[in-house]
């Protein structure tokens, strides 16, 4: 096995171990454990380059439960940061959707903005720093040209003002600048609240900021396009928006609610594929059922099915990573062996002299998993990784324990999807689907 030589910081080490032991993706330190996905990563890298060049992109990352979609999305975000892009991400849930009529769309937008990240702020909360960069550059440019700062601000915000709903967006950004000039912390905070979608009434927004609109369910997509324009004006390459847990749309009981969400997705797909948006990319992660089910999934919407149909020449070992749908290829046993080795290195903070188990323990652990749950141990490796991390934790905290003695006591079960009970409460649009004849 290749010995790790790079020192792993304590904060990254603890974050990785804590997350993996719970079966979730760590927010820090992903490069220390990443394996495989070369073709898929190269495809998304091309998308990021296109966005950075002023274009647009949309991708549907499809994989079975536990196949590593969230992990892959995290790696894509890191790559986007290295390419000087800003990223936003959020998980869909019953209360967060791409389209909603009761605040669900605004809730998704607010969560995504809260997770806005840059290379310098990878953990989120980067909205204010993006705006501060815009204001700082405007002040500097005004000094160099010997013109009023307001004149420069107006010039910089002109592209946003020309977008649908962009006039109020630009007005709020200008209010933030005035708050900076006047040392008015309340005005700045109100501007940030508006941009985060935290205003619930137009009356309050007009009183605080002088605008007649707010970011609501109907304006989420337009607001994301305005944010993409903002980050480019502020000097970043573009904006990458990532939505995970897209299966929550598939789970909606109400057929009309599903259709409205798919219509919004169609708008995004059309704009991206036709090149009518600039500097923004979307990545949506979901299960095969979310995409392929012709009764409730994306393919139940004919216009989307025709646009997202896979290359007819793919298959039988041939792959195509250029289309809008990216199917995550299964990890190989060799990939999983490298992953376990990387996790071992994380526990040792990168010092091979502190490895808790030898190389033969890795292969023995994999053989044990193969006997217990079959080939799913590497195809959907979440349970395998979780069990391995927990075993190493026991070895670390109990020095007298041997890995051979622990191995046969490890409990491993195959990954199973989350409760598939329907996620909507908007009505009973498909109430007959549960009908059974006795």
Q: Provide the pLDDT confidence category of residue 314 given band limits of 50, 70 and 90.
A: low
If one counts every other C-beta atom within 10 angstroms of the C-beta of residue 289, the result is 18
**Residue 320 is inside which H or E element, if any?**
none
Closest CA to 140 of 122, 152, 126: 152
Q: CB-based contacts of 23: which residues, under 8 Å, 6+ apart?
A: 382, 383, 385, 386
**Residue 2 is inside which H or E element, if any?**
none
- Residue 123 has a pLDDT of 87
- Residue 397 has a pLDDT of 92
Q: Are 385 and 343 in contact (CB under 8 A)?
A: yes
220-233 and 255-274 helices, crossing angle to 10° = 30
Burial class (CB in 10 A: 0-12, 13-18, 19+), 145: exposed
Q: Where are the domains of the chain?
A: 1-36+331-415
- Residue 64 has a pLDDT of 81
Which residue's structure tokens are 């600048």? 177
Beta strands at 280-286 and 325-327: parallel, antiparallel or unpaired = unpaired
- Phi/psi at 86 (nearest 5 deg)? -95, 140
Beta strands at 86-91 and 280-286: parallel, antiparallel or unpaired = unpaired
Q: Is the dihedral of CA 70, 71, 73, 77 positive or negative?
A: positive
Q: Provide the pLDDT confidence category of residue 413 given band limits of 50, 70 and 90.
A: low
Distance CA 30, CA 122 (A): 12
Which residue's structure tokens are 């892009």? 85
Q: Provide the pLDDT confidence category of residue 434 given band limits of 50, 70 and 90.
A: very low
pLDDT in tens, 190-213: 999 999 999 999 999 999 999 999
DSSP track, 31-77: GGT----HHHHHHHHHHHHHHHTT-EEEEEEE--TTSSHHHHHHHHH
Distance CA 109, CA 199 (A): 12
- Residue 383 has a pLDDT of 78
Strand partners, 280: 56, 239
- Residue 426 has a pLDDT of 46
Q: Are 214 and 203 in contact (CB under 8 A)?
A: no
pLDDT in tens, 350-405: 888 999 999 999 999 888 888 876 666 666 677 788 888 989 999 999 988 889 88
- Residue 433 has a pLDDT of 40
Mean pLDDT calculated for residue range 312-326: 73
Closest CA to 239 of 190, 272, 197, 285: 272
Q: Tell which wins on pLDDT, 54 or 321.
A: 54
- Phi/psi at 66 (nearest 5 deg)? 85, 5
Q: Provide the pLDDT confidence category of residue 65 given band limits of 50, 70 and 90.
A: confident
Which residue intervals of 146-201 are DSSP H helices? Answer: 149-161, 166-181, 185-195
Please give the structure tokens belonging to residue 121. Answer: 């702020």
Instruction: List Cα–Cα distances, 395 to 137, 355, 356, in angstroms.
Output: 53, 11, 7
Q: Are 185 and 170 in contact (CB under 8 A)?
A: no
Closest CA to 19 of 10, 30, 9, 8: 30
Q: CB-based contacts of 301: which residues, under 8 Å, 6+ apart?
A: 259, 262, 263, 266
How far from chain centre, in Å, is Cα 34? Answer: 16
């Amino acid at each position: 096995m290749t010995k790790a030589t790079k020192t792993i910081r304590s904060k990254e080490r603890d974050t990785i171990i804590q997350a993996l032991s719970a079966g979730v993706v760590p927010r820090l330190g992903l490069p220390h454990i990443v394996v495989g996905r070369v073709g898929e990563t190269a495809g998304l890298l091309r998308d990021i380059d296109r966005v950075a060049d002023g274009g647009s992109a949309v991708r549907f990352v499809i994989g079975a439960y536990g196949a590593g979609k969230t992990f892959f999305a995290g790696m894509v975000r890191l790559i986007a940061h290295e390419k000087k892009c800003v990223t936003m991400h959020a998980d869909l849930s019953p209360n967060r959707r791409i389209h909603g009529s009761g605040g669900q769309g605004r809730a998704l937008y607010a969560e995504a903005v809260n997770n806005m990240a840059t290379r310098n702020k990878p953990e989120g909360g980067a909205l204010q720093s993006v705006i501060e960069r815009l204001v700082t550059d405007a002040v500097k440019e005004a000094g160099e040209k010997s013109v009023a700062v307001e004149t420069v601000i107006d010039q910089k915000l002109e592209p946003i003002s020309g977008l649908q709903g962009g006039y109020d967006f630009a007005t709020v950004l200008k209010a933030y600048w005035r708050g900076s000039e006047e040392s008015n912390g309340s005005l700045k905070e109100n501007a940030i609240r508006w941009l985060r979608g935290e205003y619930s009434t137009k009356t309050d927004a007009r009183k605080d900021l002088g605008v007649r609109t707010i970011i609501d369910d109907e304006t989420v997509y337009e607001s994301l396009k305005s944010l993409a324009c903002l980050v480019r004006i502020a000097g970043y390459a573009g904006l990458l928006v990532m939505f995970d847990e897209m299966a929550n749309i598939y789970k909606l009981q109400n057929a009309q609610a599903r259709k409205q969400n798919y219509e919004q997705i169609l708008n995004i797909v059309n704009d991206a594929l036709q090149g009518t948006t600039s500097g923004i990319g979307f990545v949506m992660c979901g299960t095969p059922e979310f995409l392929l089910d012709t009764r409730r999934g994306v393919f139940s919407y004919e216009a989307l099915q025709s646009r997202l149909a896979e290359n007819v020449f793919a298959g039988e070992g041939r792959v195509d990573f250029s289309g809008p749908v990216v199917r995550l290829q299964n990890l190989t046993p060799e990939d999983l062996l490298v992953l376990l080795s990387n996790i071992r290195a994380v526990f040792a903070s990168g010092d091979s002299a502190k490895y808790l188990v030898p190389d033969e323990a890795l292969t023995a652990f994999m053989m044990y998993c193969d006997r217990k749950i079959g080939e799913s141990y590497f195809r959907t490796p979440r349970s395998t990784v979780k069990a391995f991390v927990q075993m190493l934790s026991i070895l670390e905290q109990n020095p007298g324990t041997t890995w051979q003695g622990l191995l046969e006591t490890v409990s491993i079960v195959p990954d199973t999807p989350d409760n598939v009970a329907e996620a909507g409460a908007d009505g009973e649009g498909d109430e007959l689907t549960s009908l059974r004849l006795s």
